[in-house]
Amino acid sequence: MSGRVLVVDDNKVIRQLIRVNLELEGFEVVTAADGAECLDIVHRVAPDVVTLDVVMPRLDGLQTAARLRADPRTRGIPLAIVSACTQAEVDSGQAVGV
């Protein structure tokens, strides 16, 4: 497998854990510490998929997903939530295309 993944999580340990596991599977991984940083770099990085934590400072995962879906340049990028979520958060994620 190959491809570029943008991993977005405010917890450095979780970011590194996801990164290592994806790199072992052959993915190139770029990380961001929150949704605002994700939006700052997503066009430069051009990921094939974005993983998002839900609870993050500045801009949470669901708000980030909604902004990525609203932008024609990022609308088609697959988004995946990697987080401990409540059912309400899962429902909200599905509503914004995660």
Q: Which domains does the chain have, with CATH numbers?
A: 4-95 (3.40.50.2300)
Q: Which residue has the higher pLDDT, 17 or 89?
A: 17
- For the full predicted model, state whether its pTM sits above 0.75: yes
Task: Look at residue 77 and tell me whether its pLDDT is greater than 90.
Answer: yes
What is the Cα gyration radius of the chain? 12
Q: What is the pLDDT of residue 96?
A: 76
Evaluate whether 83 touches 52 at the Cβ level (below 8 Å): yes
Say if residue 87's pLDDT is above 90. Answer: no
CA triplet 48, 54, 58: central angle to 5 degrees? Answer: 95
pLDDT at residue 1, as a whole number: 56
pLDDT band of residue 88 (cuts 50, 70, 90) is confident
If you average pLDDT over every residue of the chain, what do you get?
Answer: 91
First and final C-alpha spacing in the chain: 22
pLDDT at 30: 98
